[in-house]
Amino acid sequence: MDGIDLLADELDVMQRTLEQQVTERTEELDRARRAMARALLGGRIGQATARVERGARPPCPVLLDLDGFKTINDEWGHDAGDRVLVEVARRLTGVVRAADTVARLGGDEFAVLLPDVTDDEAVRVAQRAVRALRPPVTVAGWAVLTSASIGVCLGRRGQSTELLLRDADTAMCAAKAGGRGAVRVFHGRMHDAARQRLQRASENWRTPPPSASYGCTTSRSCSWAPAGSWRWRRCCGWLHPERGVLPPAAFLRAAEDSGHPGARATG
């Protein structure tokens, strides 16, 4: 039996090693695909920008990130997730002009490039995309709800490809923070908000001691709920080492973006 157990252990180690290698290779291929898609999109933006010198209006990039796509993969599997992505691409193609470009950048992120377009037209395309994604997608007999957070950069003369994509991405992040199915048009103040989120994400949060009580006391002073606790909704703040007690809205988004363990609370 010792020999059989040893063989089983070795096979288990080999299987885990192989799974790790497959995961790493898949992530490497995904990164390469994202880089290639971004490069191709950048080339299209460069072409559209060059036409501005001949009288065309500046291009407007629109970035979309599907809401809750990880849940679809987790609940129905990656095959179902792939079918949702195909349907999303089909619907997006149906709301743009023949001259526009629809591209999947990787994962659950899409881009729409609108060359020679007015500001109002660009916003209308984003709004049509929201409506197009609203009906559920049927997967294995189940109705799967889809929506996307959408960021729009209204192009201006003299903007580089990198700047256009950066601003569209910033607007998309702002839309993501605003809730499901939101559209945000980039404005300069969004950079300040993004910097604040990054600052909060990089700061150290002081976790409560093990003896901390749950919920809020009758005096409304703040106490704590651990990550994953059903009592999270009753937690009224978080103790920052320099800024004192902060409300959940002030730190939760930054914690989620940074992967901080405190962001894994439910509710």
Residue numbers annotated as active site:
108
Where b means 16+ CB within 10 Å and e means fewer, 92-119 reads beebbeeebbbbbbbebbbbbbbbbbee
Sheet holding 60-66, edge to edge: 101-106, 109-114, 60-66, 148-152, 183-185
Q: Which amino acid does the sequence have at 17? A: T
Question: Among 236, 261, 260, 231, which residue's Cα sits nearest to residue 249?
Answer: 236
The pair of three-digit structure tokens given for residue 175, joined into one six-digit string: 């839309």
DSSP summary character for residue 231: G
Query: What's the rounded Cα separation, in Å, for the pair 124 and 100?
Result: 14
Query: What's the rounded Cα separation, in Å, for the pair 102 and 61?
Result: 10
| 96 contacts 81 by C-beta, under 8 angstroms | no
Query: What's the rounded Cα separation, in Å, for the pair 195 and 214?
Result: 32
Measured N-to-C along each axis, helices 161-177 and 189-202 cross at an angle, to the nearest 10 degrees, of 70
